[in-house]
């Protein structure tokens, strides 16, 4: 069996000008941006198209921007008869995957990601932290680096992105110490990320506590297709399980490499990266060179599908 997999990007895939060509070309895009403005209480299209970048990068604005962009492309692909057999999303992107799977409506998904972004920003103020990408060390070496650096505070692996690329997250001093140790162990590159908090670490506990109430109140349905969860890298369909895993996701690592490998093992023969940017298509090449990946985020890319 051969299956179409949709993968949805998370934070850091946004850019000024995102979705403008879709807005100009398709009434459906204009309709979803109008709905978004009503739900959010501000003109998201204006920020997406014109920035400034500093505003678009805010944790309260980036999630709705990426979610809406991915939702538009998902709907336009569906109109063309391109639908996923399975889906996954990186961190925030998991909500876009659940929308594609019918587990969330557009309005409900947007309300939840807006609140999630606000809570994450608040958590970053209450317990300041940072994140860093470590390239060129294996998972075991990064785990050892975090254990040693944790004498300076909380630090742990946050994203297992692909072979040789692990992101760590935690208290500022502890992450800086982990960066030093990783360089000393021979990491090819160590890059601190521009983020407003220590995502996918225990420093997100404030957000996780309050997110429990948000998810309990949200209308989440059983998924119509398997959605591979960040926390387990395994397929999930039941609404109750989806709710639980989304709650855990805030302070647990994103098992992206395992997720993609499991999707391929379960029959995925092509991956469409649905939404802004090409980060996940780049990771796919490092995880498995044999399986093709295509980005679908612009009107031009959509026309080529």
Give the catalytic positions in this structure. Answer: 91, 200
What is the Cα–Cα distance from 305 to 296, expressed in whole angstroms? 8
Q: Is 139 helix (H, G, I), strand (E, B) or coil?
A: helix
Say if CB 8 and CB 90 are below 8 A apart. yes
Sign of CA dihedral 184, 189, 192, 193: negative
Q: Is 168 helix (H, G, I), strand (E, B) or coil?
A: strand
Task: Give CA angle at 155 (150, 158), nearest 5°.
Answer: 150
Q: How far is CA 243 from CA 99, 103, 225, 246, 262, in A?
A: 13, 10, 16, 5, 21
Output DSSP code: residue 12.
T
């Amino acid at each position: 069996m051969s299956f179409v997999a949709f993968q949805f990007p998370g934070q850091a895939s946004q850019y000024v000008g995102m979705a403008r060509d879709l807005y100009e070309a398709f009434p459906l895009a204009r309709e979803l941006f109008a709905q978004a403005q009503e739900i959010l209480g501000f003109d998201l299209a204006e920020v997406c198209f014109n920035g400034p970048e500093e505003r678009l990068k805010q944790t309260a604005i980036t999630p709705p921007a990426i979610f809406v962009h991915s939702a538009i492309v998902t709907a336009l692909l569906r109109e063309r008869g391109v639908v996923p057999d399975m889906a996954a999303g990186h961190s925030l992107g998991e909500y876009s995957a659940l929308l594609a799977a019918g587990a969330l409506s557009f309005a409900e998904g947007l309300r939840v990601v807006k609140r999630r972004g606000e809570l994450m920003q608040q958590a970053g103020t209450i317990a300041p932290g940072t994140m860093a990408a470590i390239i060129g060390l294996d998972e075991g070496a990064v785990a050892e680096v975090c254990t040693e650096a944790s004498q300076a505070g909380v630090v742990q692996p946050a994203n297992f992105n692909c072979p040789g690329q692990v992101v760590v997250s935690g208290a500022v001093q502890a992450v800086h110490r982990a960066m030093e140790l990783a360089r000393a162990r021979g990491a090819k590159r160590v890059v601190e990320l521009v983020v407003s908090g220590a995502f996918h670490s225990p420093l997100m506990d404030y957000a996780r506590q309050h997110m429990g109430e948000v998810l309990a109140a949200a209308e989440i349905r059983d998924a119509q297709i398997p959605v591979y969860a960040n926390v387990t890298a395994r397929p999930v369909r039941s609404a109750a399980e989806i709710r639980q895993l989304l709650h855990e996701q805030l302070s647990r690592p994103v098992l992206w490499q395992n997720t993609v490998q499991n999707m391929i093992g379960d029959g995925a023969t092509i991956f469409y990266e649905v939404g802004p940017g090409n980060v996940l298509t780049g990771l796919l090449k490092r995880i498995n060179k044999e399986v093709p990946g295509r980005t679908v985020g612009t009107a031009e890319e959509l026309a080529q599908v």
